[in-house]
Amino acid sequence: MIIRFFYTVLLSFIAPFFLYGLFRKTANKPNIGARWKEHFGISPALTTTKQPIWIHAVSVGETIAVSPLIKTLKNKYPKVPILLTTTTPTGAAQADKLKGLVEHRYMPIDFSFAVKKFIRCHKPSQLLIVETELWPNTLHTVCKAKIPITVLNARLSDKSYRGYKKVLPIFRQVSRNISKILCQHQKDADNFSRLGVPQKKLAVTGSIKFDINISKQIIQNGLVLRKRIGSTRPVWIAASTHKGEDEIVLSAHKRALEVFPDALLILVPRHPERFQAVESLARDKFEVVNRTSQQPITSSTNVYIGNTMGEMLVLLGAADICFMGGSLIGKKVGGHNLLEPAALGKPCITGPSYYNFKDITNSLVAVNACSVIHDDEELCNKICYLLNNSNIMAEGSKQAIAVVKNSAGAIEATINQLQLH
């Protein structure tokens, strides 16, 4: 109780800055608008009177990850309503794509009064949290309302374990409110156990991200885009890049053009507010087209900026090779998930910092479906090597698909643990 009191006092000071970051208007970022009240638990009632399953996915990545699970749940239990909350407006924009399957609301900020209002309004039957988004007041308030809490797709890296260990009394107070933790891997479960979580609360279900189902329409859209680009042109994509990586990527592309003069780089910044800055950076050195302009891609186009939300799969489908961002800027980000390019059969390249997705990355590296590089020169050399060796690229593609297929089954295992009726 004392710990939560001091935490709440601290949150009171931090919350205005956090909310300012959420609410402020920036280019290419969805606007929360009049829905800001939802962050304080004031949200419109659902269109159903039945108790919904409440799923919380903080932002875009988590919403994409949980989408196959939501679709499977609706197929198996079509009469059970699903309430999906996100914290960020970009997550809300992604949730919009699940209209008809879920109703979306913004997650109340972690004050007990806001969470209580939310619960009174929506009366959820249970709360499913995607990955390890653990907010002390939310968990305490939901548990006190006798609503079971399950953490899905939970990860606890060695680094996170060491972090939680430093605040073990806080972690234990938080974790005692959780009914179940469904872990991606045994290593994650072991780390939770070392922090004192009882074995009866732990299960290993695999990563629901491996149960990816890429629709025929998305694959077809990727092929259409590739035809616009030019079926025989060498094409590589730099996906989910962060500030500081774009210069490295563009430098690597400049080098690659000396070997493959008609090569095209598809450059997709991670955050929409950076689209314009990255495009300006690219225009300093290259002939650039951005996706929203609808301009034709000509033989002189060197860089194609993917400045649209939710089209990563289409852009990946149009490329030969994928470099995954968030991995070349020290330890700040820890990489992004290589599952989607792997599922599409794209040989992958990553920087050395991929600790957030160690398991899938190491699985791909082990079968030569992914390479680790450290700078623009190595990135260029690896791209040129793959483009020069079509047989090696084809084998990498085959192995990437196999890794994804062999790791499937987590959605079924997760649903079995939820004991829905």
Nearest CA among 179, 215, 187, 182 for reference residue 409: 182
Q: Residue 378: is its pLDDT beyond 90?
A: yes
Q: Which residues contact 76 (CB under 8 A, 6 or more apart)?
A: 415, 420
pLDDT by residue (tens digit) across 10-63?
Answer: 889 888 888 888 888 777 677 888 899 999 999 999 988 899 999 999 888 788
Res 238: pLDDT? 98
Q: Which residue shows structure tokens 């899905």?
A: 152
Q: What is the mean pLDDT of the chain?
A: 92
pLDDT by residue (tens digit) across 331-352?
Answer: 778 899 899 999 999 999 999 9
The answer to whether the CB of 155 falls within 8 A of the CB of 191 is: no
Which residue would you say has higher pLDDT here, 137 or 421? 137
Q: Which residues are catalytic?
A: 62
Distance CA 298, CA 387 (A): 20
The answer to whether the CB of 11 falls within 8 A of the CB of 113 is: no
Query: Domains in the chain and their CATH numbers?
Result: 2-211+409-418 (3.40.50.11720), 216-406 (3.40.50.2000)
Res 333: pLDDT? 85
Q: Residue 421: is its pLDDT beyond 80?
A: no
Distance CA 186, CA 192 (A): 10
pTM of the model: 0.68
Q: Residue 141: is its pLDDT beyond 80?
A: yes
Half-sphere exposure of 418 (CA within 13 A, CB side): 28
Instruction: Categorise residue 215: left if φ over 0, alpha if ψ from -120 to 50, beta otherwise.
Output: beta
